[in-house]
Chain A
């Protein structure tokens, strides 16, 4: 139960700033997802909050207290390590009992057993409890590692890509379990991932991290629909957003070498821009506006993802699976003008 605040935190390794002037505010009881590509500084951020690294600059507060002088154990947060860090030579049960036995928590044996049983059930590792941890598969180790966090009642949960090694089905169900657990415990979760679907589906709030800096913080809706710049826009969404150069003049957007002309929805300053449009905002069908060459068709069951080509500009559109589409054929399409994103051609910042 704690509110976590990072104020202008910087952590350098040598000359390289892994975390660079990071400011973050995670409300009490919030499920906050930190999303970023590899090397963005996600793990470093978690380690700074957990107290395993000391910041070179800035302030970290947990529950409104400056924790700079506090050791990792005093901070009382649970951390699920990216590489599990299970205790070797011990069984799964002993690993799960470790945080319960090892401190002044004074759990009775009955309580320990009960908590382990509960965590094992949530994570479906009941059958592994007596197994030594070095005889587990990667996904099993990962679940034990989550278990070691959730048997506790810490002030906050920090999880470093805890579902990365699980198969799609298990991942989906554990996503739901973790979300449910968080709602039940009403505790603060800081969940790190590089999987945008995970971020969008789990987070109350999502923070996009790149090169040690927060790029945008917002609800999944805001991140998806009002990306602050091209980086955020192309990082979330699958397939990723289509970007193409365009010209803005006299209330019209012109793109695809003049073949596409749309009324600009709001007043924008004239000039060169980069427009972005998500595949689901492109309609494909015989009655649409512009003709395109069909480069590729992927069948995804409920829908098809078509890669279209106009001259040498490729872009992806979503089409209903009932629509007949042939590779190398021709089809017509149009962009939904209300869903166009405008970015500065030079800086990539949103021009909304």
Chain B
């Protein structure tokens, strides 16, 4: 058997120089090491802190306080208010992104001139830094000389310092920035619907709406759900643009509160506890989505 033509996998690996095992070790071990050092370890370490009264600003040892941080946080009405603000923000911003993004994708999903160019231009907001976007929209929103009020004829509506409007103003900016992401995924989903199904539906004399709801929508739903998962997770932990754009208490998202606990009040232990609460919430929400996604895919 040990002839010249031995083509078993093992023999080929030998001629290639590296065995599959070597390749696995070379590529996977560093990755795992990095993950442990920069992700897993801090995660566990901060879990430890969340049960203490540790303050990173003072040179004192941490005392174990049990569940006190969690108890305090979960009974604090102001924290619940932060969660409420976050929930409103997530619903408005993700809802807007899904609507606008999917709508744009529907408009773009046809043969038209300069389609590639238009798509690329529409993707630009997504590629900008959130800090730049925040500052830029602050200018747009400026009550006295901002172009937005001028264009919409809204007089001197103070978008960002009006407690009732500020959160929505931030959400609009987020929609502007991230709707293209939803659009991109939707476009991928829409162009994956085989053309011959539309032909069959036309032959079967299906109305435009019937075709959309029975053929297009079911086939793009999985991708829409993936976009929804990503955007919900991201929106839930939004910090940058909200922090840059407004200082209103009505725009104090949970991550801003978290930042204040950790780096302004230096309540390291408590902030770790809050971070864990947020983490568990995000995990719970995404789990629901993923379950639903799997169910949709099975169908």
Mask, A80-96, CB within 8 Å of B = 1, is: 01010111110000000
Q: For the complex, what is the distance from the CA of A73 to the CA of B214, rounded to whole Å? A: 17
Q: Report yes or no: B196 in contact with A81, Cβ–Cβ below 8 A.
A: yes
- Interface-side segment among A98-106, A227-235, A306-314: A98-106
Q: Report yes or no: A102 in contact with B200, Cβ–Cβ below 8 A.
A: no
Of B203, B207, B210, B218, which contacts A77 at CB under 8 A?
B203
Mask, B197-210, CB within 8 Å of A = 1, is: 10111111111001
Q: Quote the shortest CB–CB distance from B209 to chain A (angstroms).
A: 10
Q: Is B215 in contact with chain A by the CB < 8 A criterion? A: yes
Q: For the complex, what is the distance from the CA of A102 to the CA of B197, rounded to whole Å? A: 14
Q: Is A72 in contact with chain B by the CB < 8 A criterion? A: yes
Q: Report yes or no: B218 in contact with A89, Cβ–Cβ below 8 A.
A: yes
Task: Point out the residues of chain A lying under 8 angstroms from B140, CB to CB.
Answer: none
Q: Report yes or no: A103 in contact with B206, Cβ–Cβ below 8 A.
A: yes
Task: Point out the residues of chain A lying under 8 angstroms from B157, CB to CB.
Answer: none
Question: Mind listing 10 A-B residue pairs with CB under 8 Å?
Answer: A52-B202, A71-B202, A81-B196, A87-B214, A89-B299, A98-B204, A98-B206, A98-B214, A102-B206, A102-B207
Q: For the complex, what is the distance from the CA of A79 to the CA of B203, rounded to whole Å? A: 7
| Interfacial residues of chain A within 100-118, with CB under 8 A of chain B in the complex | 101-103, 105
Q: Report yes or no: B218 in contact with A73, Cβ–Cβ below 8 A.
A: no
Q: For the complex, what is the distance from the CA of A89 to the CA of B206, rounded to whole Å? A: 17
Is chain B's binding surface mostly helix, strand, loop or mixed?
helix
Q: Is A211 in contact with chain B by the CB < 8 A criterion? A: no
Of A73, A83, A85, which contacts B205 at CB under 8 A?
A73
Q: For the complex, what is the distance from the CA of A6 to the CA of B218, rounded to whole Å? A: 38
Q: Report yes or no: A85 in contact with B200, Cβ–Cβ below 8 A.
A: yes
B202, B211, B215, B218 — most chain A CB neighbours (10 Å): B202
Q: Is B219 in contact with chain A by the CB < 8 A criterion? A: yes
Q: For the complex, what is the distance from the CA of A105 to the CA of B207, rounded to whole Å? A: 11
Residues of A in contact, count (CB < 8 Å): 25
Q: Is A76 in contact with chain B by the CB < 8 A criterion? A: yes
Q: For the complex, what is the distance from the CA of A77 to the CA of B199, rounded to whole Å? A: 12
Of A51, A88, A103, which contacts B204 at CB under 8 A?
A103
Q: Quote the shortest CB–CB distance from B1 to chain A (angstroms).
A: 41
**A151 closest partner in B (C-beta):** B204
Q: A83-B196, A88-B219 are in contact. Are A103 and B203 (CB under 8 A)?
A: no
Mask, A284-322, CB within 8 Å of B = 1, is: 000000000000000000000000000000000000000
Q: Is A78 in contact with chain B by the CB < 8 A criterion? A: yes
Task: Point out the residues of chain A lying under 8 angstroms from B205, CB to CB.
Answer: 73, 76, 99, 102-103, 105
Q: Report yes or no: A87 in contact with B203, Cβ–Cβ below 8 A.
A: no
Task: Point out the residues of chain B lying under 8 angstroms from A77, CB to CB.
Answer: 203
**A52 closest partner in B (C-beta):** B199
Q: Quote the shortest CB–CB distance from B193 to chain A (angstroms).
A: 10
Q: A88-B219, A89-B299 are in contact. Are A78 and B203 (CB under 8 A)?
A: yes
Task: Point out the residues of chain A lying under 8 angstroms from B218, CB to CB.
Answer: 89
- 11 additional contacts, CB 8 Å, given A71-B202, A102-B204? A52-B199, A73-B204, A78-B203, A87-B200, A87-B201, A99-B203, A101-B210, A102-B205, A103-B210, A105-B205, A148-B200
